[in-house]
Structure 1
Amino acid sequence: MFNRSQVLRFLFVQAGWKSPATIDMVLVYRLPSPAAVTGSFLKKARRMKYLFAAVVLGSASLASQAALRSPAEAPAAIEHSESCRWDLRSGSDCRVEQSITILREAGRDKNGTQTLWYEPDDKLEVREAYTLQPDGRRINVATRDQQRGNAADDNGFNNYQFLKLAFPEVKVGSKLVLHLRRFSPVIKPFGLLAKRFVFDDDDLRYDRMSYEVSAGQQLFWRVNDPQQKLDAQADQNGRHLRIQLRAPLYLGITEAGDRLKLRNPLQFDVSTVADAREAERPAAQAIARLLAAPLPPLAQQAVRAASGQPWQQQVAQLLEDVNDRIRYMGDWRVSENGVIPFPLADIERRGFGDCKDMALTLTAMLRAVGLDASVAFVRSDWDNRPPLLVTWGYFNHAIVRLKVEGVSYWLDPTSKVNALGSTSILLQDRVAFVLGAEGAVQPETIPANPPPARFEEQVQDFTSLDGKRWRMSGSNVLHGQTVRELFEDELASNRSDADSSLVRDYFLFENMNLRSLKVERGTAQRLVSSPYTVTALATVGNVTRPLGPYRLADLRLLRPRIENLRDYYAQDGVSDYFLEVGGYSGVTRLHGVKPLLQAASCKVQSRWLDYAIAPVAVVDGIGLRYELQRKVNWVSGDELHSEDFRQMLDQLEECDAQAQLLLYR
């Protein structure tokens, strides 16, 4: 359980929004921030040339377990039992007994040093920690090899204590034994106890897992267990619950990739509250009281400046004001402010805050100009499933729901740029809890982004200068999230760097290199509400390359990503695939060349995407028109392995090959 990667996610979270993403029973595994994940993905996926970007973002569906690695390949195996006593007056008292058996060298490297993460107010006792060797020798973890400390979380919802243990003489066959006792108080004003337990796709084989809890009041639980891997038993009054695995479980993913995770994991939630909305009510009531306070002076000044303007302009100005005045910083103080914002006046005086503080401030200012705005809690993650029961540890972000003429717009004040009518890929297509007046909590679905939110309309011309150097001139009309990401890049770095990235990502094909450029485009805006045109003039190399007596211009859009999917099949992958609804319409022309043959037309149509290539007449060369429409956000692992999808992939490869153009030297 206690290793450097994401393992069992024993999420014991009580009486408050205790975790940004995942709090384990005694530890929290550090995950990349959503911004980091999104940024690295989008830099490779912007242009539709990168349709099948970097890999598969989803994860093993338990329905596809036949493709998981054999349990015999696991590098380590865990046995875990946990017994807790819950009391709404005193909190939780849990005893944990755990052992990890090292089966391979990889398991030794990964599990030999274990880091236990726990809450600031918790008390964690290590009763026993030792290495048990195959010959029966027991070697205790020395006190000098145990280190405690504090670490702030980076997303604004909590900080944690940690205990690091270096187990001695670990080798294949060793068993790392850990016995713990953990005391966790109920943190007011929430007054509940809850636990999320998610089995993750990690390199641990679960040979045994048992969780038992007793309480002085009725317990409520839900499971996501489509294959009935869990056995749950409760007494008649529902005050004692025992959940355990029916048989060993190993979720070893066959394919590699940073964006692989279970989108439909085996999970159970336990709580002293039956309704997730009811659990959030104390936070909603507290936020309602904070919004009733008067606006502080600088916020009032911004509201006066925005008053009387069209609502879109008001939103743009107030978003920019909040983002400029309030520096985003995670709040790691031990207080209710792990889930409840600070007062408006305190936020303005400090000039920094986390997502809750920024969402509260923007909501108050939007209301002051007469707009219908509310704070909303949401999960920012690739996993867009709604919470089972426990929201503590599920929600990890606060945003703003703006409603105009019956239409909901979702604004993230921690982002330097927002786009009306669409959201970032980690916020779309999921439930949010909107916190209304007098503590009302209303679930509302943030819709999937419409196709225009990720669409490009491009025309580009490549003219040969001397056979090695080419002049590229082009224009691209960007929409929605594509524009937002461009502006985010510019504001995070500078315009020159953003222009260079823009030309490489949007105007050049694979293997082309950029030698000089000039870009013309408008000023970056904080609120994207209309298409955005970019024109570019560049000197480019490696547009063609020798091929026998000819030269080859390889203008294929999809080849690298088709190859990635071929690798996925070769590894018998089980992941879901984030395709993302959107499209591309473009014309590419080569001038000053003589084609051996004109390109042929082709068309591929499926329920996942449509793709077409057609020749374009060019007096002094050759040209192509591309049309691409992606129809779904996710392609499941089962769909990827279906005969229909495989046939479509073959057809895509054949059609894309029409963009390989042979030219006379």
Structure 2
Amino acid sequence: MYRFAFYRPLLAISLGLAAPSVFAALQPLAEAPLASDTELHCHFNRDASTDCTTTYHYTILQPNGREMLSRIDFDYAEGDTFEVISAQSTQPGAKPVALADTQIDTRTAPNPDQGFSRDKQTSLAFPNLRVGTQIRYTVREHRPAKPLMTQFHYALRFGPSAARRDRFKARFTAERPIQWRTELFDGFKVTPSANGKTLDVVQKAPTFLNYINESSNAALLRIPRIEVGSAVEQQAYFGDFAQRYNQILGASLPPQSAAAVAAARDLAPAERVGALMQHLNDHYRYLGDWRATERGYVPFNLAEIEQHGYGDCKDLAILLTAMLKASSIPAETAWVSRGDVVESLLIPGTNAPNHAIVRAEVGGEVWWLDPTNPVFAPGQTMPDIQDRWVLVNDAQGQVRKEHIPLERPETTLRLDKQVHYDKQGNAAIQATLAFSRLPLMQLSVADRQQGSTATDQNICANFGHEISDCHVTRAATGFVVHDGYSVNATMNDQRALEKLADGYVYTDESLKGRWDAFVYYRRQGQQADLDQGNPETNDYTITLSGGQMEKAIPGCQVRSPWYDLDLEGQREDGALRYHYRLTQKMRWLTHDEMVSAAFGKMVDEARACAEQVHQVVKL
């Protein structure tokens, strides 16, 4: 199983600057670069191996369609059998021309960034592509069953695409009855045979769905999809793997791991877990060895993992589980779908998870541990495995489904900022920040990946447009982090206020910009769901002095299912001080939510609340 990138690894805090908005919409049908016609036939053999033959037919509709088809790659495991049955191109008004053998190239695929593999890659390069050219090719692939895999499981997904999908047809056949489940599949007709061993899937009408200019945090939480399998119970798919995991866990710990367990024996449970996670971070690195492709879901044994000094998610998860159990911490291995977007579990088959983690019981709480990450905060679940199903393997080899909850919106960032203006609109700034939870983890990862100097510069840049003479004082971060980490910063801002004819203007962009982005979303007809990051509460106290403020801040409250906002202000000793708490309750905002009347009302109230901070300043 491959490791997905750590969620937002570099420092991302909002202390005064708003990110630019990106407008989005559905791409017009007339701009579709390609038209596609696809026919697929997959046969699932009794030994859970698979034979698939697919015919692809594309017509180039726009000039950029040529680049999209410039080289067509197929990656497959070394043990698979892959062949190009036929390939041809047809120019407008001409006869089909077969693709020359010299235009078909097979080589070893590039190794992934953090691992070894012997995957193969076959590429097709069609000559003389132009608008109106049609290409057609048929490929066949045989995939042997991986060890201990006795059931078949296959998924088809139809997300947004730059290709206009004129026709799609699939036939699935098997030696045993086919089970199937769908989501948002009204655009397709699904027809099972009388004996259940054949399933036909046909698209009802041509379709084109592609988004343009989407935000970097945009995605679709639900797309049309169908999954087929030989069973619908997780035990049928994962029971043999669970037994094998327990066999591996039954072995004695290798020497280094046993020594780490002994060294942590007298610590309290939470500190014991932290010490073992620290041991893995110090002595192992994430590096997958997929050269032995037949391993599939099966980890190396404990002695092999310690000998290597590295492993992929299943290797590190089973070693951590063994160490925890030896430390009297109840622990179980588990399989999950890791990433920002997670699909509901239609069929709990072997194509559903992509990651292995550990379920541990620590001080009466359930902790979900991922030893592949470069930071650990005791009791905190990483964002890319929150709010989703998980399949847990118990000591008897039984596999049960659980749900990893979404984190509560605890206070993750406290800011106390004092700003003093001079007569030219410049400002001297003193600030104290307390980082907790995800922002603290991001701070630690940023230090690790780019060094503390670059991170300090990042912190300074978040305070304004023209920061100079910035000095940051803070302790070094490490792999294990604890809430309440403090940062002190002093700096000057040469553009702290915007100049007007008879004065200056002050605006708190960290409070204002979030709501403006939602207004743009609604006005521009954006379509996708938006990832807002971990649920969290930010607590800001701002003191402005050195100038005459136009107005007081009466204060306000906003309450909604998505955000809560509390603002209060007061004048004292010639200064204006205001305090606000912003709580983000949800990670994802769906399109339907953001265009609803209730969401619009919340945005209007929040913008009006933020407007109270807007000041004309006389110096």
TM over 0.5: yes
In structure 2, the partner of 1:578 is: 531
Q: Contact 2:536 / 2:583 at 8 angstroms: preserved in 1?
A: yes
Q: How far 1:156 moved relative to its partner?
A: 6.2
Aligned partners of 1:155, 1:639: CA distance in 2, in Å? 39
CA distance 1:490–1:190, shift in 2 (3 Å):
same
Matched, 1:86 2:53: no
Aligned partners of 1:141, 1:263: CA distance in 2, in Å? 39
CA distance 1:439–1:97, shift in 2 (3 Å):
same
Deviation larger for 353-362 or 256-265: 256-265
Q: Deviations over 1:595-648 (max 9, x none)?
A: 233344333332211223322323233222122111222221011111222232
Matched, 1:174 2:133: yes
Matched, 1:220 2:179: yes
Q: Contact 1:152 / 1:332 at 8 angstroms: preserved in 2?
A: no
Q: How far 1:405 moved relative to its partner?
A: 4.7
Give the SS at the match of 2:319. Answer: helix
In structure 1, the partner of 2:603 is: 649
Deviation larger for 470-479 or 203-212: 470-479
CA distance 1:55–1:191, shift in 2 (3 Å):
farther
CA distance 1:429–1:312, shift in 2 (3 Å):
same
In structure 2, the partner of 1:14 is: none
Aligned partners of 1:203, 1:534: CA distance in 2, in Å? 46
Aligned partners of 1:406, 1:155: CA distance in 2, in Å? 35
Q: How far 1:192 moved relative to its partner?
A: 2.5
Matched, 1:603 2:560: no
Matched, 1:392 2:350: yes
In structure 2, the partner of 1:109 is: 67
TM-score, normalising length: structure 1: 0.87
**AA in 2 matched with 1:174:** T
**AA in 2 matched with 1:85:** H
Matched, 1:539 2:492: yes
Aligned partners of 2:473, 2:48: CA distance in 1, in Å? 64
CA distance 1:633–1:397, shift in 2 (3 Å):
same
**AA in 1 matched with 2:14:** R
Give the SS at the match of 2:351. Answer: coil
In structure 2, the partner of 1:309 is: 267
Q: Contact 1:254 / 1:571 at 8 angstroms: preserved in 2?
A: no
In structure 1, the partner of 2:321 is: 363
119, 124, 133: which one aligns with 1:165: 124
456, 461, 483: which one aligns with 1:499: 456
Aligned partners of 1:578, 1:486: CA distance in 2, in Å? 20
Give the SS at the match of 2:243. Answer: helix
Gaps of 5+ in 2: none
Q: Deviations over 1:342-373 (max 9, x none)?
A: 11111111111111111111111111111001
In structure 2, the partner of 1:515 is: 469
Q: Deviations over 1:68-90 (max 9, x none)?
A: 44444322121111112221238
**AA in 2 matched with 1:458:** L
268, 271, 284: which one aligns with 1:326: 284
Give the SS at the match of 1:202. Answer: coil
Matched, 1:443 2:401: yes
Q: Contact 1:593 / 1:622 at 8 angstroms: preserved in 2?
A: no
298, 303, 309: which one aligns with 2:256: 298
**AA in 1 matched with 2:471:** L
In structure 1, the partner of 2:589 is: 635
537, 544, 553: which one aligns with 2:506: 553
**AA in 2 matched with 1:223:** T
Matched, 1:569 2:527: no
Q: Contact 2:512 / 2:607 at 8 angstroms: preserved in 1?
A: yes
Aligned partners of 1:540, 1:380: CA distance in 2, in Å? 41
Aligned partners of 2:407, 2:472: CA distance in 1, in Å? 32
Q: Deviations over 1:384-443 (max 9, x none)?
A: 233211533331221111113542101111112222333222111011111222322121
Q: Contact 1:52 / 1:562 at 8 angstroms: preserved in 2?
A: no
Give the SS at the match of 1:484. Answer: helix
Aligned partners of 1:48, 1:540: CA distance in 2, in Å? 13
CA distance 1:50–1:144, shift in 2 (3 Å):
farther
CA distance 1:235–1:445, shift in 2 (3 Å):
same
CA distance 1:430–1:512, shift in 2 (3 Å):
farther
Deviation larger for 646-655 or 67-76: 67-76
Q: Deviations over 1:537-556 (max 9, x none)?
A: 33333212311120222223
Matched, 1:624 2:578: yes
Q: Contact 1:255 / 1:571 at 8 angstroms: preserved in 2?
A: no
Q: Contact 2:321 / 2:358 at 8 angstroms: preserved in 1?
A: yes
**AA in 2 matched with 1:96:** T
Give the SS at the match of 1:451. Answer: coil
Stretches (4+) displaced over 4 A: 48-56, 154-159
In structure 1, the partner of 2:102 is: 144
CA distance 1:53–1:348, shift in 2 (3 Å):
farther
Q: Contact 1:553 / 1:660 at 8 angstroms: preserved in 2?
A: yes
In structure 2, the partner of 1:350 is: 308
Aligned partners of 1:305, 1:389: CA distance in 2, in Å? 43
Q: How far 1:177 moved relative to its partner?
A: 0.6
Q: How far 1:155 moved relative to its partner?
A: 6.5
Aligned partners of 2:289, 2:448: CA distance in 1, in Å? 24
Q: Contact 2:538 / 2:581 at 8 angstroms: preserved in 1?
A: yes
Q: How far 1:572 moved relative to its partner?
A: 1.6
CA distance 1:285–1:486, shift in 2 (3 Å):
same
CA distance 1:165–1:564, shift in 2 (3 Å):
farther
CA distance 1:70–1:76, shift in 2 (3 Å):
same
CA distance 1:119–1:568, shift in 2 (3 Å):
farther
CA distance 1:630–1:586, shift in 2 (3 Å):
same
383, 387, 390: which one aligns with 1:425: 383
Aligned partners of 1:53, 1:369: CA distance in 2, in Å? 49
Q: Deviations over 1:120-178 (max 9, x none)?
A: 22111112112222213323333222222223344669763221211111112211211
Matched, 1:281 2:252: no
173, 185, 193: which one aligns with 2:152: 193
CA distance 1:159–1:555, shift in 2 (3 Å):
farther
Q: How far 1:465 moved relative to its partner?
A: 5.7
CA distance 1:120–1:51, shift in 2 (3 Å):
farther
Aligned partners of 2:102, 2:133: CA distance in 1, in Å? 21
In structure 2, the partner of 1:98 is: 56
Q: Contact 1:254 / 1:573 at 8 angstroms: preserved in 2?
A: no
Q: Deviations over 1:97-142 (max 9, x none)?
A: 1101111122222223211222322111112112222213323333
Deviation larger for 69-78 or 379-388: 69-78
Gaps of 5+ in 1: 1-18, 22-32, 61-66
Q: How far 1:190 moved relative to its partner?
A: 0.9
Q: How far 1:51 moved relative to its partner?
A: 8.3
Q: Contact 1:458 / 1:476 at 8 angstroms: preserved in 2?
A: yes
Aligned partners of 1:249, 1:480: CA distance in 2, in Å? 44
Give the SS at the match of 2:343. Answer: coil
**AA in 2 matched with 1:161:** K
CA RMSD of aligned residues (A): 2.6
In structure 2, the partner of 1:126 is: 84
Q: How far 1:48 moved relative to its partner?
A: 6.8
Matched, 1:661 2:615: yes
**AA in 2 matched with 1:488:** V
Aligned partners of 2:384, 2:190: CA distance in 1, in Å? 33
CA distance 1:209–1:379, shift in 2 (3 Å):
same
